[in-house]
């Protein structure tokens, strides 16, 4: 079973949903002069990696023309993520100068099967300065058989010389209409019926990410939820548990404790903080526009200045949420700042509210700070029908640390570590783990010693495979290469 995002990811340039990126790449390919180094920059989930694979297919396609044929061996293996000459590297896990030196040595070797070796470096801004400078030398004078595609959500963090040596393609945040266009492709393929209004709600919740929108749709299918517009709105925004209007009423009265407990109850019942902040911003913005004569004002208790301050606080919370150890913390701080205005004579009460709320939150979140044996077995069981090779690899690994955002896996053998760090494998695993723990997760792999097996009797040293670890390696390798 393949996740819907992977199943319906674009396979040709004209299937890319960001219009400007689609047009730029079309012109480059038609010119017949594809640069040796491309930089794809833009928010997560906007199609950067999909576009990189499409370009890899184009430069390696055995057919004729500017479009990949999707029939030759090169196209099929690249599209399926199994071509050994298309190497996806996660710069977050391979950010040091030693990693780049290894890459520089590898690029000298000719492709094993394809016409060109294509290196897709994801989150390229995570490279250290030393590693970036080392990579720069390869970008300036690459071998003829090598092409680089760098993808990043933060191009401004790349050193200027790398940006100047690459051709930049901007993947801006998708509009709701573009996300709906993408979802319609999935709906048609899955032979489902859903209104465009319902898809619009999903697009709004995904906040410009094709990947997040498809994940939401897949979750609705998996949980057999109603696809009616009203039911989807309730499912997405948890209107039964938290009415955004009621929360804004509490904020208008600056009731700190009640506001924080409302958010806490929202989280306990499975609500998404990202979606809650989006709804708060939408309502506050609508009211602000009404104050200057555009539309109807639904928040008369707030002044224009109040609304401007709230937008600033919510926007800051939205920016900070991805790097927060506790997802709801930026919104809680925003609310405390807002409600704390003009109450400088009550610092003790405010500290008490923060302490009490934090204690309640701690009870809820503690359970998410470790991966138990039971959770690990669930991960293995869920990943197996999606990709049995990954499940086989994970049998030579164990979770050793989890901080709520990053899951560190101790992997027993270098080969297994490298396979798990492959871009396609890592994304599938992150999706599965994220769906189980209920929040986005980044997988980090590190080599560790395998568990020591008890031996019933001493075995003389021989240069042959044993019944222990070596047999496990063979079994896992057989499963991997049989797919």
For residue 472, the domain's CATH number is: 3.30.300.180
CATH number for the domain including 215? 1.10.8
What are 165's two structure tokens? 């040596």
Domain match, 150 and 248 both = no
Name the DSSP letter for residue 154: -
Domain that holds residue 214: 176-237
Q: How far apart are alpha carbons 356 and 103 in whole angstroms?
A: 51
Domain match, 128 and 183 both = no
Domain match, 12 and 150 both = yes
What are 136's two structure tokens? 């720069």
The predicted pLDDT at position 1 comes to 53
The predicted pLDDT at position 118 comes to 95
- The position carrying tokens 């913005």 is 285
Domain match, 68 and 212 both = no
Give the global pTM. Answer: 0.60
Domain match, 250 and 375 both = no
The predicted pLDDT at position 475 comes to 54
Q: How many C-beta atoms surround the C-beta of residue 462 within 10 A?
A: 7
The predicted pLDDT at position 206 comes to 85
Q: How far apart are alpha carbons 179 and 198 in whole angstroms?
A: 12
pLDDT along the chain (483 residues), means of 10: 82 92 94 93 91 94 82 90 89 81 88 92 90 88 91 91 93 92 93 91 87 88 85 69 77 92 77 82 90 88 93 90 78 92 46 49 47 85 85 90 83 87 84 78 85 54 42 54 52
Number of domains in the chain: 4
What are 209's two structure tokens? 């990410």
Write out pLDDT tens, residues 56-97: 999 999 887 678 888 999 999 998 888 999 999 888 777 788
The predicted pLDDT at position 15 comes to 92
Sign of CA dihedral 353, 356, 361, 366: positive
Single out the residue in 237, 258, 276 at which a domain terminates: 237
Full strand arrangement of the beta sheet holding 442-447: 397-402, 406-411, 442-447
Domain match, 276 and 127 both = no
Q: Which residues pair with 397 in a beta bridge?
A: 411
Domain match, 74 and 122 both = yes
CATH number for the domain including 39? 3.40.50.300
Domain match, 158 and 42 both = yes
- What phi and psi, each to the nearest 5 degrees, are found at residue 51? -65, -40
The predicted pLDDT at position 414 comes to 85
Single out the residue in 320, 348, 367 at which a domain terminates: 367
Domain match, 374 and 350 both = no
Domain match, 15 and 114 both = yes
From residue 450, how far is each of 132, 396, 413, 446, 472 by CA, in Å? 33, 8, 8, 12, 11
Single out the residue in 149, 170, 191 at which a domain terminates: 170
- What phi and psi, each to the nearest 5 degrees, are found at residue 467? -80, -5
The predicted pLDDT at position 178 comes to 93
Domain match, 250 and 298 both = yes
Q: How far apart are alpha carbons 40 and 127 in whole angstroms?
A: 16
The predicted pLDDT at position 348 comes to 46
Domain match, 316 and 399 both = no
């Amino acid at each position: 079973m393949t996740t819907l995002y992977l199943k319906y990811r674009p396979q040709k340039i004209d299937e890319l949903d960001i219009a400007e990126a689609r047009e730029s790449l079309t012109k480059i390919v038609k010119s017949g002069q594809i640069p040796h180094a491309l930089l794809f920059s833009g928010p997560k989930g906007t199609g950067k990696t999909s576009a990189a694979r499409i370009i890899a297919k184009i430069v390696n396609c055995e057919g004729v023309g500017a479009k990949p044929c999707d029939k030759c061996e090169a196209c099929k293996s690249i599209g399926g993520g199994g071509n050994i000459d298309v190497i996806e590297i996660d710069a977050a896990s391979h950010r040091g100068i030693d990693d780049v030196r290894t890459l520089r040595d590898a690029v000298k070797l000719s492709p094993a099967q394809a016409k060109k070796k294509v290196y897709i470096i994801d989150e390229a801004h995570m490279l250290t300065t030393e590693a970036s400078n080392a990579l720069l030398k390869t970008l300036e004078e690459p071998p003829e058989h090598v092409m680089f595609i760098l993808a990043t959500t933060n191009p401004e963090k790349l050193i200027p010389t790398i940006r100047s040596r690459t051709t930049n393609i901007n993947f801006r945040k998708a509009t709701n209409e573009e996300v709906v266009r993408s979802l319609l492709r999935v709906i048609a393929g899955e032979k489902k019926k859903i209104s465009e209004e319902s898809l619009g709600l999903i697009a709004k919740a995904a906040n410009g990410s094709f990947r997040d929108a498809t994940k939401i749709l897949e979750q609705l299918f998996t949980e057999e939820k109603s696809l009616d517009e009203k039911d989807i709105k309730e499912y997405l925004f948890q209107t039964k548990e938290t009415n955004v209007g009621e929360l804004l009423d509490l904020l208008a009265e600056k009731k700190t404790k009640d506001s924080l407990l409302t958010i806490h109850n929202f989280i306990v019942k499975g609500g998404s903080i990202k979606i809650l902040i989006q709804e708060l911003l939408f309502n506050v913005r609508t009211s602000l526009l009404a104050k200057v004569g555009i539309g109807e004002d639904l928040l008369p208790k707030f002044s224009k200045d109040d609304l401007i301050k709230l937008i600033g606080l919510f926007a800051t919370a939205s920016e900070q949420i991805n790097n927060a150890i506790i997802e709801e913390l930026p919104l809680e701080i925003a609310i405390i700042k807002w409600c704390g205005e003009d109450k400088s004579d009550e610092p003790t009460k405010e500290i008490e509210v923060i302490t009490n709320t934090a204690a309640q939150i701690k009870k809820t979140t503690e359970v998410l700070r470790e991966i138990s044996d039971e959770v690990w077995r669930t991960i293995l069981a869920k990943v197996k029908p999606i990709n049995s090779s990954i499940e086989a690899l994970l049998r030579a690994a164990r979770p050793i640390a989890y901080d709520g955002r990053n899951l560190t896996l101790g992997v027993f053998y270098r080969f297994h570590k490298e396979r798990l760090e492959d871009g396609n494998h890592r994304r599938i695993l992150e999706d599965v783990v994220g769906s189980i723990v209920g929040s986005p997760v980044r997988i980090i792999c590190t080599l560790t010693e395998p568990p020591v097996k008890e031996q019933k009797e001493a075995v003389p040293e021989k240069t042959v495979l044993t019944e222990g670890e070596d047999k496990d390696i063979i079994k896992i390798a057989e499963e991997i290469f049989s797919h």
